[in-house]
Amino acid sequence: MNKQGSVAIQGVVKRHGSVTVLHGIDLEIEAGEFFVLLGPSGSGKTTTLRILAGLESVNAGNVYLDGEKVTDKEPGERDVAMVFQSYALYPHMTVAQNIGFPLKMVGQTGDTLTKAVADAADKVDIGHLLDRRPGQLSGGQQQRVALARAIVRQPRLFLLDEPLSNLDAKLRMETRVELKKLQRALGVTAVYVTHDQEEAMTLADRVAVFMDGRIVQVASPKEIFGRPAHASVAGFIGTPPMNLLAATWQGSDVFLEGAGRVRVGVTSTDARPVTLGVRPADLRLAPEGLAARVELIEELGDSHIVIATLGSERVKLRTEPTSPLREGDRVQLGLTPDAAHLFDRATGARLN
Amino acid sequence: MRNALLVRRLALAAMAGALLSIWAFPVLWALLTSFKTERDVLAYPPVWWFTPTLANYREVLFGSSSIVPNLVSSMVVSVSTTLLTMLFAVPAAYALARLRYPAKRASGFYVLATQMLPPVGLIIPYYLALQRVGGLDTYAGMIAIYLTFSLPFAIWLMVSYFEDVPFEMEEAALLDRAGRLRALWHVILPQVRGGIAVTTVFVFLNAWNEFLFAVVLGGNRVRPVTVAMFNFISVEQTQWARLAAGAMVAMAPVIVLGLLAQRHIVKGLTVGAVKGGGRR
Amino acid sequence: MTRFETRERGFALALLGPALLLLLLITTAPLIYLGWTSLQRLDLGMPWLSGLAGVDNYAKMSADPRFWNSLALTFVYTASTVLLQVVLGLSLALLVLQIPRGQGVLRVAAILPIVLAPVVVGLFWRTLVLAPDFGLVDLVTRALGLGSHNWLGDPQLALISVIAIHTWQWTPFAFLVLLATLATLPPDIYEAARLDRATAWKRFVHITLPLIRPAVVMVVILRTMTALSAFAAIFAATGGGPGSSTEILNLYAYRTSFSELNLGYGASLAVVLLAITLAVSWLLFRRRRAPA
């Protein structure tokens, strides 16, 4: 068996009763990739993960692991390991027994078992906790036990279901880094589900963005950030997310009602209704441009977020902490042509 | 202000004391009576200070009206019923609580419905059928009818315990290549060990205390203690003190078990009507 | 359907099947036999009369005053014991809630009536508590100057006595369940209510009662089932008598079948009791599912 860890999902449809949860998903994941499934709650990313694990059936389509069709295979037969959001540790067993369980189930015993358990535990730094029970561990430690249990049998695929969501913010940041390092060191393909776009951006080699049961874009984090393929993706990524404004595109200008116009780098012959996307960091104070009025200023310490009204819509922009802006000020905002993202108003598809 | 609080406290304490006595007194009174001679029992005004005697216990345990054979009878029936019940009920409850299969709601309702059957409705057909095949006064027949109230009860109690285990346990075990049976054995069952213990106690308790089935289907061979109580009552006279002693002996196992399991009593008492039909 | 799901189904069937089959065998089959018997004349005292009787037994029942008496008694017995248990249990639970230190001991004391065999409870009461002259109750009434009474031998008093016995044994159940439920109520809503100037009574009516409603309903359901099938305690205390003054339907069916050996008629009485039990439980369950 070719054990590399490449994944292919073709045309997978999933229904729950009369509700269609997945509308035909196609995905290809390369061996060794850290691949993130990103999307808001209910977008179908967790369902997709569970289908990969074999915990859910499909109504149509197929799943391939290393070229082998596994759609009908049992979870235990796919050589896949999963870290659950709640960790699903066996509370009546010690940490060592928890980690050793998958090996015990395939008949390993004795010294080989003990050594494998110790190795896995060391990789996540819990070698000193082997005799404790899950109930005696902190959240972070429990999460590592779950990881160790997944690692110990050297599967060809790791599935992680929002493994960091139960940790506090600081621990989450630290664990993120360690997770990535661990995956690099082991070289195992990892499929990671999260709704936190920051997590996705920092961890992923590539990201698949899910919206309402469909994959809207598959690309590297840089590409998703720089060239979101859809307005919904644009509005989801970034802290704070991209500003999306209703506008009309004609010629090489985009007109915003009641505010003015901006020059963009592409030309349209007819007047097209569009959604103009511009990142808060790309909006600048200009001597001439779109008319806006400052509503509120959020002081974050190393930068300010200015919330302003532009025509009938609200925008956010970032400024230096030394900015002299005050609430109620009237300003002009501008952006460079390549900072403009244009999306069709009706479909949300990217136009430039 | 201080006084009002004190009065309130005293009132509550008095009420608590009254409650305690009302509930505990009959048992304590029987205990007291069991150490009296028949004469002392019948004395009026009641004799508070008396010479205790073990004669009643001696008679009830070793004498001609010994209820030891009845204790044995009760033990055989109760233990067998409990073992058989748990054997069938635990797997059944697991399926009801955590597995997916067709007609799940219907089977859940069916089990619930069997808990509602009035015993007198069952005793008549059992009596007729057993009489025909010579099954009266046999352990097999007795255990069969005892199962009619033990099995549904045990299933529903275990269902509530199984439902308390987090749902991802099976999934994690399956991914760890355990297979369904081993997942149940290694992962789920250990987590409901306490529930199994409590259920066992309750099933045993109910079986031990059963009367109607015991008196109708029993005879000389199979004669649980609940029936033997009437040995001490006849048309001519009632042997009060011996009856008290006999009752204490007969109820001793049940009282001890009850006290041991008392913290789990509420869960055991509230089974069945709370959760009708499994989840998932 | 995937292999995974098929295997899950097979597994479920293997685990549940045996129990279901067993239940079918030991409960449903006998019930069918019961129905069949109720359509027959089966009098072991007069065996020559046996044979199919159609609905004769049921016709006879509707004209049988003893049947109607037992039905009325069943209703009175069930309604009064359940009501008393809930009211007493709730009141006691509310009071005991205010004695944190006494709760442990009281919970243990509450166990005693529940774990005793009902037949033993009936005998206890009959012999030690309600016996004229030296029973506990008699001693008390005599001390209070109310005289001695034949608690179980007087038709009026007998019914009250058996109701008292049943209530004594099962009130602790309501008490324990409601005590546990009350203990889980969040204290902050009471604090909010006090700030909203709700009196203790209002807090009880508007906050406590609605919140414990599910528990109360559940207690009512379980206790009603027990009351409908109560047998041993009454049997031990009065045997159904004096006469028929404590002969609830349960006991009437028993006496007819095993004292008078008229099993055909007894079976029909049992069928009626079964029907009543199922109807009552269905009604109560519907109430439970109905929105508050």
* Residue pLDDT, tens place only, A203-218: 999 999 999 999 999 9
Do A89 and A226 lie in one domain? The reply is yes
Same structural domain, A260 and A189? no
- The residues pairing with A342 across neighbouring beta strands, listed in sequence order, are A276
Residues A164 and A64 in one domain: yes
Segment B3-55, tens digit of pLDDT: 777 888 788 878 878 887 888 888 888 888 888 887 777 666 666 677 788 88
pLDDT at C36 over 80: yes
Do the Cβ atoms of A149 and A99 come closer than 8 Å? Answer: yes
pLDDT at position B269: 64
Say yes or no: C20 contacts chain B, CB-CB below 8 A: yes
Which of helix, strand or coil describes residue A13?
Answer: strand
* pLDDT above 50 for A342: yes
Whether residue A209 sits in one domain with residue A319: no
Q: What span, in angstroms and rounded, lies between the C-alpha atoms of C224 and B35?
A: 37
Residues A68 and A207 placed together within one structural domain of the fold: yes
The stretch C48-73 carries a mean pLDDT of 84
Note the pLDDT of residue B43: 67
Contact B176 A76 (CB under 8 A): yes
Could you give the CA distance from residue A227 to residue A221 in angstroms, rounded to a whole number?
10
Q: Which among A80, A86, A91 has CB closest to B175?
A: A80
The answer to whether residues A296 and A327 touch, using CB atoms and an 8 Å cutoff, is: yes
* Residues of C in Cβ contact (< 8 Å) with A57: 1-2, 4-5
What is the predicted pLDDT for the residue at B279? 28
Model confidence band, residue B267 (pLDDT cutoffs 50, 70, 90) = low
- Give A53's contacts in chain B (Cβ within 8 Å): 171, 175
Q: How far is CA C127 from its chain centroid?
A: 23
Listing DSSP states for A227-275 in one string gives S-SBHHHHTTSTTTTPEEEEEEEEEEEEEETTTEEEEEEEEEEEEEEEE
Interface test with C, best of A63, A74, A78, A80 (most C CBs within 10 A): A74
Q: Name residue A278's beta-bridge partners.
A: A243
* A351 is a domain residue: no
pLDDT of res. B276: 33
Kindly state whether residues B91 and B109 are assigned to the same domain. Answer: yes
Residues B235 and B102 in one domain: yes
Q: How far is CA B65 from CA B211, C119, C126, in A?
A: 20, 19, 21
- In chain B, which residues touch A (CB < 8 A)? 166, 168-169, 171-179, 182, 186-187, 190-191, 193
Cβ within 8 Å, pair C229-B120: yes
The architecture in CATH of the region C68-289 reads Orthogonal Bundle (1.10)
The answer to which of B196-200, B240-244, C134-138 has the lowest mean pLDDT is: C134-138
Q: What is the largest CA-CA distance in chain B?
A: 76
pLDDT higher at C101 or C83: C83
Angle between helices C155-183 and B2-34 (to 10 degrees): 120
CATH number for the domain harbouring residue B214:
1.10.3720.10
Radius of gyration of chain A (CA): 24
CB of C125 within 8 Å of a chain B CB? The answer is: yes
Secondary structure of residue C250 in the 3-state scheme? helix
Across B36-45, C152-161, C240-249, least confident range: B36-45
**Distance (Å, rounded) from C-alpha B188 to C-alpha B29?**
46
| Residue owning tokens 């304590």 | B28
Q: Pick from B168, B178, B193: which is nearest to A105 by CB?
A: B178
Is B275 a domain residue? Answer: no
Residue linked to tokens 């061979």: B221
- In total, the C-beta contacts within 8 angstroms joining chain A to chain B are 56
Q: Provide the domain limits for residue A127.
A: 7-234
Spatial separation of the C-alpha atoms in residues A264 and A24, rounded to whole Å: 35
- B132 and B208 both lie in a single domain: yes
The DSSP bridge pattern shows strands A157-161 and A189-194 to be parallel
The pTM for the full model equals 0.84
Residues in chain A with CB shorter than 8 Å from the CB of B175 are 53, 55, 75-76, 80-82, 102
Inter-chain CB proximity A72 and C1 less than 8 Å: no
Residues A134 and A165 in one domain: yes
Q: Are residues A140 and A283 in the same domain?
A: no
CB atoms within 10 A of CB A338: 11
User: C292 falls in which pLDDT band (50, 70, 90)?
Assistant: very low
* DSSP code at position C239: T
- B16 and B132 in one domain? no
CA-wise closest residue to B118 among A338, C252, A264, C160: C252
End of a domain among A168, A202, A234? A234
Q: Inter-chain contact A75–B171, Cβ cutoff 8 Å?
A: yes
Let me know whether B134 and B32 are in one domain. no
The answer as to whether A349 is a domain residue is no
Is the domain of B226 the same as that of B197? yes
In terms of domains, do A70 and A185 share one? yes
What is the distance between the alpha carbons of residues C82 and C52, in angstroms, rounded to a whole number? 39
Q: C69 Cβ partners below 8 Å, 6+ apart?
A: C244, C247
* C-interface mutation test, from B124, B157, B235, most C Cβ less than 10 A away: B124
Residues B47 and B156 occupy one common structural domain = no
B6 plus B81 within the same structural domain: no
| Residues C140, C184: Cα–Cα separation, whole Å | 39
Mean pLDDT, rounded, of chain A = 89
For A85, A232, B39, the CA distances from A44, given in Å and listed in that order, are: 16, 15, 83
Instruction: Return the closest-CA partner of residue A292 out of A252, A248, A243.
Output: A243
* Owner of token pair 């902190």: A138
pLDDT of residue B167: 87
Question: Which residues in chain C have Cβ-Cβ distances shorter than 8 Å to A71?
Answer: 2
Q: Taking a C-beta distance cutoff of 8 angstroms, is the pair A333, A289 a contact?
A: yes
- Closest Cβ opposite residue B175 in set A75, A92, A106: A75
Q: How far is CA A10 from the centre of its chain?
A: 21
Give chain B positions within 8 Å (CB) of A105.
Answer: 176-179, 182
**Shortest distance, CA C229 to any CA of chain B (angstroms):** 5
Q: How far apart are CA B121 and CA A2, in angstroms?
A: 66
SS3 C152: coil
Q: Closest approach of chain C CAs to the CA of A44, in angstroms?
A: 20
Q: Quick one: how far is CA C178 from the chain centroid? A: 18
- pLDDT confidence tier of residue C233, bands split at 50, 70 and 90: very high
Peptide bond into A324 cis (omega under 30): no
State the sign of the Cα–Cα–Cα–Cα dihedral A87, A93, A95, A96: negative
Torsion from C-alpha of A315, A318, A322, A324, nearest 10 degrees:
-20
* A145 plus A252 within the same structural domain: no
Q: Under the phi-then-psi rule, with left for phi > 0, alpha for psi from -120 to 50, and beta for the rest, what region is A301?
A: left
Min Cα distance C215 → chain B (Å) is: 8
Is there a single domain that holds both residue A222 and residue A287? no
Q: In the structure, what pLDDT confidence band is assigned to residue C59 with cuts at 50, 70 and 90?
A: confident
Same domain, B142 and B246: yes
Strand partners of residue A19: A16
Same-domain check for residues B240 and B260:
yes
pLDDT on residue B252: 92
Which CATH number belongs to the domain containing residue A175 in this structure? 3.40.50.300
| Chain segment B177-230, per-residue pLDDT in tens | 888 899 999 999 999 998 999 899 999 999 999 999 999 999 889 999 999 988
- Domain residues of chain C, as ranges? 68-289
Rounded Cα distance, C236 and C156, in Å: 18
Does residue A2 fall inside a structural domain?
no
- Both A130 and A277 in one domain: the answer is no
- Average pLDDT in chain C: 86
Could you tell me which chain B residue has the CA closest to the CA of A100? Answer: B176
Residue of C3, C7, C8, C9 best to disrupt the A interface, most CBs of A under 10 A: C3
Are B45 and B76 contained in the same domain?
Answer: no
For A311, phi then psi, to 5°, come to 65, -120
C-alpha to C-alpha distance for B55 and B63, rounded to whole angstroms: 9
- How close, in Å, is residue C164 to chain B by CA atoms? 12
Q: How far is CA A223 from CA A219, A264, A345, B70, C271, in A?
A: 6, 20, 22, 84, 76
Q: What are the tens digits of pLDDT across the range B129-186?
A: 999 898 899 999 999 999 999 999 999 889 989 998 998 898 999 999 888 899 999 9
- 10 Å Cβ neighbour count for C143? 9
Structural domain containing residue B38? 2-59
Say yes or no: A129 and A174 in one domain: yes
- Contact flag A84-B172 (C-beta cutoff 8 Å): yes
Provide the number of structural domains found in chain B.
2
User: Which chains neighbour A (Cβ–Cβ under 8 Å, 3 or more pairs)?
Assistant: B, C
Residue C249 confidence (pLDDT): 93
B280 found inside a domain? no
Q: Do C172 and B23 touch (CB under 8 A)?
A: yes
Q: Give the number of domains in chain A.
A: 2
